[in-house]
Amino acid sequence: MMARRTALSFIVLTLLLVGAGPLRAAPTPLVVEAALDREVVAPLLDAFRAAHPEIALDFRDRTTLEVDALVAEADPAPDVVISSAMPWQMARVNQGYARRLDSPAARRWPAWAKWRDEVFGFTFEPIVMAYRLDLSRHMAPPQTHADLHTLLTTERDALAGKVTTYSPLESGVGYTLHQQDARYTPRFWDLVAGMGRVDARLEGSTRAMLEGLSDGRYWLGYNLLGSYAMVWAQTHPEVIVQVPQDYSLVMMRMAFIHRDAPHPVAAEAFVDFLLGREGQRVLAGQTPLFSVRPDIVGPFTAARLRDQVGERLFPIPLNASLLAFVDPQRRAAFLERWRREFRRAEEE
């Protein structure tokens, strides 16, 4: 009797399972901690989800300093880490937080845009100036760093409180950009003093600067991320984006798989997609993040940017030299000089 009931239960369970259709495995979770605006990168995320329905992507948009802290403090660790604060990313990789990616896409990636097959620069983003359209009614908009310095000197009263740039204290990418500027132009500290003379407002993000430009609080912004500024300008015609004509820094978003990634296979699939032809095609055609790959055609590619700006593009190098920028003594010395030069106007 018991055997008959057991057999009957098995038959009923089998029929129920057959009627319900084939069993499907639950999607694999994937946590990406990123200093990358979700609105800007949305086409890339959508394309990844379409290509990998078996992965449940959880993309978390944070500040550069928040992302850096989570690399060491998050429990569980994130699967993938993305940030524009290049020295901080390199430092975490150097501390052993990255998992090596051994894949055809990683091996083929340009040597100048990766380090030890552990961290990869997958975008090529110019650093720009931006200004309100009505600025031109008062003065000639700047096209070069020298033009900007001239305006800060000759239009001091008109620009008082109307200029904005990154705070090197509140933003990792802001600190990086100012450090790089100091490398490329001997007049950088004069520019900092000029911003101090007009009481420039220091912000923690490009978005904050763009919002200030649109609502009229600011007339002129310096060292904005070009990707964010270009997207903003598409729906805010009062904001004009200017790639500096004397030289333009180029920043790369750096991505790595965390060494303690809970879902390493999904993480590898995501980074491979960033580096692969399909992901880079989306970057070049549907976002202003600019594709790195030379075989990709579109409005936003490194090759096209070089054609437009020429040899005046200065990419921030992705190599061990970045580690110097997060050295505590060097950072403290730079920030102390920043404060001193920014306050120079009080002594004039």
Confirm or reject CATH 3.40.1170.60 for domain 125-250+327-347, answering yes or no. Answer: no
Q: Which two tokens stand for residue 261?
A: 């990634």
pLDDT of 22 reads 54
DSSP string covering 167-184, please?
Answer: -TTT-HHHHHHHHHHHHH
Q: Which CATH class is domain 28-124+252-314?
A: alpha beta
Residues of the chain with pLDDT under 50: 1-21
Closest CA to 166 of 218, 240, 231: 218
Q: CA 333, 336, 341, 342: dihedral to nearest 10 degrees?
A: 140
How far is 163 from 35, CA to CA, in rounded Å? 24
pLDDT at 23: 53
CA nearest 258: which of 134, 142, 47, 92?
92
Enumerate the β-bridge partners of residue 210. none
pLDDT in tens, 168-206: 988 888 999 999 999 888 889 999 999 999 999 999 999
The answer to whether residues 55 and 27 touch, using CB atoms and an 8 Å cutoff, is yes
Task: Identify the DSSP state of 118.
Answer: T
DSSP 283-296: HHHH-TT-B--TT-
Q: Which positions ≥6 away from 33 have C-beta within 8 Å?
A: 60, 62, 67, 70, 71, 74, 78, 80, 81, 82
Angstrom distance (rounded) from CA 236 to CA 229:
10
Peptide bond into 76 cis (omega under 30): yes
**CA separation for the pair 98, 102 (Å, rounded):** 12
The residue whose two tokens read 């090197």 is 168
Could you check whether 28-124+252-314 and 125-250+327-347 share the same CATH topology? yes
At position 136, the amino acid (one-letter code) is S
| First CA to last CA distance, the chain | 102
**pLDDT tens string 129-145:** 999 998 988 999 999 99
The strand pairing partners of 255, in sequence order, are 82, 120
Residue-range domain boundaries for the chain? 28-124+252-314, 125-250+327-347
Sign of the torsion formed by the C-alpha atoms of 196, 200, 203 and 206: negative
So what's the pLDDT on residue 305?
A: 82
Q: Any alpha helices (H) in the chain, and if so which ranges? A: 2-19, 38-51, 64-73, 86-94, 104-108, 145-154, 172-184, 188-197, 206-214, 226-235, 264-275, 277-286, 302-309, 328-342, 344-347
Nearest to 242 by CA among 124, 127, 152, 84: 127
List the helix and strand counts (H, then E) for the chain.
15, 14
Longest dimension (CA), the chain: 102
**Whole-number CA gyration radius for the chain:** 24
